[in-house]
């Protein structure tokens, strides 16, 4: 009995809520755990690592979108701060654990301050300012990263070494285990794995804390939350800070794996779109959705691009079709998928797994929440 107690405490008593989802989650974690042994090929492993990084990145974004009800376009900025922080620190201070720690801590401090400032200026008045300002900021950050080339390496980014224990040339053991040499790359993989699990569990803990409950109340009804005495502005700003810290940590994970950082790898708008896509596909406001969504999306992305390549090669002779199906137009399909997902798949995978029957009765009447929001919108107007 005690073991089951511990198990639910680990996930902050936020049960996945569907047997299928539990099986899925366990399967994902199991595959990620044995991937270095079971999977061959650099592509498969790198998809696994991307999944672990995006699970953290998207879960922290979900804290904003799903639990606080605000859209940030600056999430990649914090992701980038984490990635660049590690890179710059190692370049300047040498490839040691100390400089890794210094870089990561400095990145976190910068992220906290920046998120605080953004919140103070944009969340004070109305949430839509926040989206506009973060969009401007993410554009500015990309420009800055390319222009400060002696610090950031400009367009090319920076390549750096890691502490020896995380480099491919390092050997943890002399003998192979299940036919696998335990080199620094494997150590790095499991290091990232541990970070990913810890951070996602931490986010799960945060959204299930009293703080998370207040955020939900704000998301559902800003007016009422303010009326009961929760300063909406303070809670939203705090949520932004917390999300920024985890995005920054995800950036650190990215740096560890790639031993490289550049504007395209961490700051580009494409990554922002990936985040949005994953959070919608997985299920907004669930945290678990970020894991499932990351798997579904990144695996599909890895192979859909191949599919497009094949299709455009096969149909390329037809005028026009080749252009549309070209792998360079990957974003076109991604964007269309995104719009369709927002309209027709708003609860995401987790939502569908949790309540398969809900769709039937939800069409006839608006949900209680929707109806309430109408009332309060009206009250806000009458005020």
Partner 1 sequence: MNRSDLMPLALLPILMGCAYLAIGNPAAWFTLTIAGVAMGMIIFTVASGMTIVFGLMDVLNFGQGIFITVGAYLSATVFASLSGYVVSPYLSENLLVILVAVVAAVAGAGMSGFLFERLLVKPVYGDHLMQILVTTGGLIVGEEIIKIIWGVQQVNVALPPFLSGAFVIADVAIERYRAFAFLAGALVFFGQYLVFTRTKTGLLIRAGVHDREMVEALGYGVRRLFVATFVSGCALAGLGGVMWGLYQQTLVPQIGSQMNVLVFIVIIIGGLGSTGGALLGAILVGICANYASFIEPKVALFSNIALMTMILLWRPNGLYPASAR
Partner 2 sequence: MTELLLNLENVHTHIGLYHILQGVGFRAQRNRITLLLGRNGAGKTTTLRTIMGLWPASKGRISFAGTDIVGRSTSEISRLGIAYVPENMGIFPDLSVKENMLLAARNASRVTDIDQQRLEWIFELFPAVHQFWNRPAGKLSGGQKQMVAMARAIVEPRELLLIDEPSKGLAPAIVNNMAEAMLKLKQSGASILLVEQNLQLAREVGDDVAIIDAGRIVHTGPADECFARDDLLKTHLGLALCP
Shortest distance, position 329 Cβ to partner 1, whole Å? 6
Residue partners of 363: CB distance under 8 A and separation at least 6: none
Place of tokens 């990084």: 53
Show contacts with partner 1 in window 62-91 (CB under 8 A).
65, 69-71
Return the residue of 105, 143, 305, 367 that touches partner 1, per CB under 8 A.
Answer: 143
By a kind-dependent CB cut-off of 5 to 8 A, residue 371 interacts, out of partner 2, partner 1, none, with partner 2
Binding string, residues 276-315; x marks residues near partner 1 by CB under 8 A: x---x-----------------------------------
Shortest distance, position 116 Cβ to partner 1, whole Å? 13
Q: How far, in Å, CA of 324 to CA of 110, rounded?
A: 41
What does the binding site for partner 2 look like in residue numbers (CB under 8 A)? 368, 371-376, 378, 382
Looking at the Cβ atoms of 338 and 376, the one nearer to partner 2 is 376
Return the residue of 172, 332, 375, 379 that touches partner 1, per CB under 8 A.
Answer: 332
Show contacts with partner 1 in window 93-132 (CB under 8 A).
117, 121-122, 124-125, 127-129, 131-132
Q: With H, G, I as helix, E, B as strand and everything else as coil, classify residue 261.
A: strand
Return the residue of 106, 202, 334, 352 that touches partner 1, per CB under 8 A.
Answer: 334
11 DSSP 8-state letter? T
DSSP 5-22: HHHHHHTTT-----HHHH
Looking at the Cβ atoms of 148 and 173, the one nearer to partner 1 is 148
Spatial contact of 352 and 292, defined as CB atoms under 8 Å apart: no
Q: How far, in Å, CA of 284 to CA of 278, rounded?
A: 9
Looking at the Cβ atoms of 270 and 370, the one nearer to partner 2 is 370
Angle at the Cα of 245 from the Cα atoms of 243 and 246, rounded to 5 degrees: 70
Q: Report the chain's terminal Cα–Cα distance, integer Å.
A: 53
Interface with partner 1, residue 151, by CB under 8 A: no
Interface with partner 1, residue 206, by CB under 8 A: no
By a kind-dependent CB cut-off of 5 to 8 A, residue 191 interacts, out of partner 1, partner 2, none, with none
Tell me the Cα Rg of the chain. Answer: 22
DSSP 161-205: ---GGGSTT-BS-SS-BTTB--BHHHHHHHHHHHHHHHHHHHHHH
Interface with partner 1, residue 148, by CB under 8 A: yes
Angle at the Cα of 286 from the Cα atoms of 285 and 290, rounded to 5 degrees: 100
Residues that bind partner 1 (CB under 8 A): 65, 69-71, 117, 121-122, 124-125, 127-129, 131-133, 135-137, 139-140, 143-144, 147-148, 273, 276, 280, 323-324, 328-329, 331-332, 334-336, 338-339, 342-343, 377, 381
């Amino acid at each position: 009995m005690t073991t089951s107690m511990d198990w639910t405490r680990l996930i902050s008593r936020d049960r996945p809520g569907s047997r299928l989802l539990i099986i899925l989650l366990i399967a994902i974690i199991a595959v990620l755990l044995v991937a270095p042994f079971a999977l061959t090929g650099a592509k498969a492993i790198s998809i696994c690592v991307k999944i672990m990084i995006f699970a953290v990145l998207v879960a922290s974004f979900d804290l904003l979108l799903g639990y606080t009800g605000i859209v940030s376009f600056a999430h990649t900025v914090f992701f980038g701060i984490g990635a660049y922080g590690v890179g710059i620190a190692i370049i300047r201070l040498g490839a040691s654990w100390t400089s890794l720690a210094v870089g990561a801590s400095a990145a976190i401090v910068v992220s906290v301050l920046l998120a605080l400032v953004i919140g103070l200026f944009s969340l004070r008045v109305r949430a839509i300012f926040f989206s506009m300002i973060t969009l401007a900021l993410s554009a500015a950050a990309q420009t800055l990263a390319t222009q400060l080339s002696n610090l950031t390496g400009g367009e090319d980014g920076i390549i750096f070494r890691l502490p020896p224990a995380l480099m491919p040339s390092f050997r943890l053991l002399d003998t192979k285990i299940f036919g696998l040499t335990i080199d620094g790359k494997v150590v790095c993989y499991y290091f990232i794995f541990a970070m990913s699990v810890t951070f996602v569990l931490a986010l799960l803990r945060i959204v299930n804390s009293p703080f998370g409950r207040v955020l939900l109340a704000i998301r559902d009804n800003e007016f009422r939350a303010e009326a009961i005495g929760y300063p909406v502005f303070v809670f939203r700003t705090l949520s932004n800070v917390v999300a920024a810290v985890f995005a920054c940590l995800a950036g650190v994970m990215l740096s560890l794996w790639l031993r490289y950082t550049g504007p395209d790898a961490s700051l580009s708008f494409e990554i922002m779109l990936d985040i949005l896509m994953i959070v919608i596909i997985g299920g907004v406001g669930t945290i678990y959705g970020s894991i499932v969504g990351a798997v579904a999306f990144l695996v599909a992305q890895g192979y859909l691009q191949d599919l497009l390549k094949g299709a455009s090669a096969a149909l390329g002779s037809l005028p026009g079709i080749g252009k549309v199906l070209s792998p360079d137009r990957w974003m076109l399909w991604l964007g269309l998928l995104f719009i369709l997902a927002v309209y027709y798949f708003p609860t995401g995978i987790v939502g569908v797994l949790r309540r398969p029957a809900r769709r039937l009765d939800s069409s006839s009447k608006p949900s209680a929440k929707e109806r309430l929001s109408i009332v309060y919108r009206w009250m806000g107007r009458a005020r």
